[in-house]
Structure 1
Amino acid sequence: MRNQARVPFEVRFWGVRGSIPAPGPQTKRYGGNTPCVEVRCGDELLIFDLGSGARALGDSLLASGTSPVRGNIFISHYHYDHLQGLPFFAPIFIPTSELTVNGPARNGRSTRELLSGQMVQPYFPVTAEGAFRAKLTYRDLAPGDTLQVGPAKVRWLELNHPGGNLGYRVECGDKSVVYATDVEHGSELDAAMFEFARGADLFIYDSMYTEDEYHGRCGPARTGWGHSTWQAAVAAADAAEVKTLVLFHHDPSRDDAAMDKLLRQVRKHRPEAIAAKEAMVLTL
């Protein structure tokens, strides 16, 4: 275990916003791209979701000069904000790239079918089958399984979100990261999620709303929309006894100043908490 613990383990954020990209001067510090998180465990590249942040990640991978690009992509679910970057992820068009795309089968359709389905006319000018040139492997993730990717062990769990959503746990050496975006608190799935995240070093968790927003005390109620609050994020982090809470999937209407205010409120309860920002790198 001592040797495993020394394996480099790094998390880099390329997209942290939820629902729709929100670029502009009011969001430039936290970023406006939708979810995409790069994880490095030793020499292994793991990518979680392909929101609009995936475009910059793909460009960075090619610009690094490391060729070919090899890695595993893990899709949490198939809503647009988590797939918007797929048609613009440059390595997928390069014949020497070797990519495995992992995701849940839904409604009788495989991961491959679901991803290809968003690139069809009249909604997109080219098809995935016609445009993708990389060596692609698609893997449907079965409930309760575990995947070994080099020194990284990856597990997944169904979360409470309309249409389904997978949360992921990556263990590398004696460190662990949980990626739990797009989850609504208050369901019978909570207890399993707390146990799944138990003791994680980083807990990347949906904290899109405040309780006032969620319950409709200001604006429309967001109950049933599939997202959590910062208060519920704190409660989940406490219940799972995680080391560091990372707020994620920021509301597109929440500008940098409002994000600063939200983080200050969270740190009254969890002083170590971090609000994810684009280009942020966390080393475990």
Structure 2
Amino acid sequence: MKGSKSTAAKTHFHVRFWGVRGSIPAPGPQTRKYGGNTPCVEMQVGDSLLIFDLGTGVRPLGDSLLAKGTPVEASVFLSHYHYDHLQGLPFFTPIFVPQNTFTFYGAARNGQSVKEILSGQMTQPYFPVTAEGVFKAKLSYHDIQSGEALKVGPANITTVELYHPGGNLGYRVECEGRTVVYATDIEHGRDEERFFEFAKGTDLLIYDSMYTEDEYCGRHGSPRTGWGHSTWQAAIRAADACQAKTLVLFHHDPTRDDAAMDKLLRQVRKHRPEAIAAREDMTLKL
């Protein structure tokens, strides 16, 4: 009809946080607001379920998926294999159900495939049962590398290597002009221009902001340089450099309680008023 506008709805795209803490779980009354689980982020893009990292936050995600009462099909993207990003896997209940299907993506490291790495954490004497013995869902594994492009349903996914001891992949997820960049466990000051170009124009920049500049440089306690993590000040610079619309602070220090997180966020918002500190069970819709 003349003068009419298209009313076609865009594909549903939301991001939900199930674990936002770094290094080690930090449960308790002092971290209740932001949460104490280690990294796990769900992205629902149309009918496609994407899961980023398998920290302890994947356990409540699994319970939520099972509660729906329908078979689960998901693609799981691993940033890297430090234990805070893997420790939820043995307690992800949907993986024990034969009707469910999971595809795992991650970089091969130290001569081991993603399948070998995931299976390797569930062996005696570290764990009582093996993955091969108890995982009943239909599973497939794909080794990926920096610069690789993938398509899962309506989502286009690209990867970049980030600076972190042992290696770490960042992910860019795009759908119909909307973009999320997941950059956990990144240390600033190293090959930043490549990352800024990778993340250019993103709607959401989920970025490691574990430390303050004083903590990172050792003005308070031991210096954290070379540990593979960033600061809230560097997160602001990254968001500015890549022209991100919204900065999401992520991978919170396990020693930083809710009051300290509130204070940190207030400081960030003096420079980026739209900034958000990731909280468990927070959902952002694009």
Same fold (TM over 0.5): yes
Secondary structure in 2 matching 1:39: strand
Secondary structure in 1 matching 2:110: coil
Q: 1:110 aligns with which of 108, 113, 129?
A: 113
1:174 aligns with 2:177: yes
Secondary structure in 2 matching 1:116: helix
Matched residue, 2:269? 267
User: Gapped runs of 5+ residues in structure 1?
Assistant: none
Report the number of matched residues: 281
1:45 aligns with 2:82: no
Q: 1:224 aligns with which of 223, 226, 230?
A: 226
Matched residue, 1:70? 73
CA deviation map 1:126-170 (0-9, x unaligned): 011111101000000133221110100011100000000000000
Secondary structure in 1 matching 2:263: helix
Secondary structure in 2 matching 1:32: coil
For 2:183 and 2:201, how far apart are their aligned partners in 1?
14
1:16 aligns with 2:17: no
1:14 CA drift (Å): 0.1
Secondary structure in 2 matching 1:10: strand
Assess, with a 3 A threshold, how the Cα gap between structure 1 residues 93 and 218 changes in structure 2: closer, same or farther: same
User: Which runs of structure 2 are paired with 1:135-154 in the superposition (5 Å)?
Assistant: 135-154=138-157
**Where does structure 1 differ by over 3 angstroms across 4 or more consecutive aligned residues?**
2-5
Assess, with a 3 A threshold, how the Cα gap between structure 1 residues 160 and 212 changes in structure 2: closer, same or farther: same
Larger-gyration structure (1/2): 2
Residues 146 and 169, structure 2, Cα contact 8 Å, conserved in 1: no
Matched residue, 1:133? 136
Assess, with a 3 A threshold, how the Cα gap between structure 1 residues 3 and 181 changes in structure 2: closer, same or farther: farther
Secondary structure in 2 matching 1:47: strand
Matched residue, 1:56? 60
Residues 145 and 159, structure 2, Cα contact 8 Å, conserved in 1: no
Q: 2:253 aligns with which of 251, 254, 261?
A: 251
TM-score (ref. length: structure 1): 0.97
Residues 5 and 175, structure 1, Cα contact 8 Å, conserved in 2: no
